[in-house]
Structures are given as structure tokens and as C-alpha cells.
Amino acid sequence: MDAAYGARHHVLELMAKEQTGGDDRKWTGGRSEQSDVKRRRNRALSIGNRVLEEVAQATRSCEVKAKC
């Protein structure tokens, strides 16, 4: 279970990094965009979590049907 969690976390981090451009320390005109980057990363993680949960539910559903 720990390996699955680690793999899932790694995938979500990669998705978030791609969504945010991979730069947590972006500065423009003296104004930090770090909070905006964090917000976009959190949104990407949230979307990724929902997608993975739907996949897990579908997998469990298929496993239950296969046992019947």
C-alpha cells in the first residue's frame, strides 16, 4: 500500500509541476507569484486526486463484477 501511495503522490506532483510550469519561485515586477503557483498546484492535485479516485472505484467495480 505504501508503494502505491508513493507512486500516486509522485504522479500527482508531476501533474502539478506540469500545470504550474515547474517554477515555485517566479517573480515578476517585484511581486511574488508564489501564492498563485501554489493555488494552481493545489488545483492540479485536487483534480488528479479526483481522477485517481474515479479510476480506483471503477477498478473495484470491475473486480466485484468479475467475482460474481
pLDDT above 70 for 13: yes
Burial class (CB within 10 angstroms; exposed 0-12, middle 13-18, buried 19+) of 30:
exposed
Give the pLDDT mean for 20-36.
58
pLDDT above 60 for 49: yes
pLDDT score, position 22:
58
pLDDT score, position 54:
87
Name every residue whose Cβ is closer than 8 Å to that of residue 41 and which is 6 or more positions away in sequence: 16, 17, 19, 20
Q: Distance between CA 13 and CA 17 in Å, rounded?
A: 6
Do residues 48 and 68 touch, judged by C-beta distance below 8 A? no
Number of domains forming the structure of the chain: 1
Domain containing 27 equals 2-67
Q: Which of 6, 30, 34 is nearest to 20 (CA)?
A: 34
Entry pTM? 0.43
pLDDT score, position 68:
57
